[in-house]
Amino acid sequence: MNGFERFRSAIADEDHTITVVAFSELDLDSVEDLRKIVDRCLLVEGVRLLVVDMSQVNFCDCSGVGALMEARERTLQRRISFELTEVKEPIVMRLFTLTGTDALFGLDLPTWR
């Protein structure tokens, strides 16, 4: 998968929400694509909530976490709410927990040692 094939967005006009679904891996190779699609979503007039759905992500590294943190910050700077949802892959859950970013993103994940 290359480029925007890794991400899909859907606009729900009734509640001013845009959902971006990430696929496969969120890593150094794909973070620029995430940045681009988030930028495009933030240009949509009237958007109040940007959701990044991680249900299809099977791997995420620190560059992916950094890109998500950056996306959250840029979204909040525009007074748009940001949610990270559906983190299901154990290795991805572990990364968020070990880096402490689970709390930043409001994720309720198992504790890893």
Q: What is the DSSP string of 46-105?
A: T--EEEEEEEEEEEE-HHHHHHHHHHHHHHHHTT-EEEEE----HHHHHHHHHHTHHHHT
Domain ranges of the chain: 3-104
Q: Write out pLDDT tens, residues 4-53.
A: 566 665 655 568 999 998 888 899 998 998 999 999 999 999 999 999 99
> How many CA atoms are closer than 13 Å to the CA of 35, on its beta-carbon side?
12
The pLDDT, as a whole number, for residue 96 is: 94
> Which CATH architecture describes the domain 3-104?
2-Layer Sandwich (3.30)
Reduce the DSSP state of residue 45 to 3 states and report it.
coil
The pLDDT, as a whole number, for residue 1 is: 46
The pLDDT, as a whole number, for residue 97 is: 92
Q: Write out pLDDT tens, residues 51-99.
A: 999 999 999 999 999 999 999 999 999 999 999 999 999 999 999 999 9
Cβ proximity of 56 and 88 under 8 Å: no
> How many CA atoms are closer than 13 Å to the CA of 81, on its beta-carbon side?
11
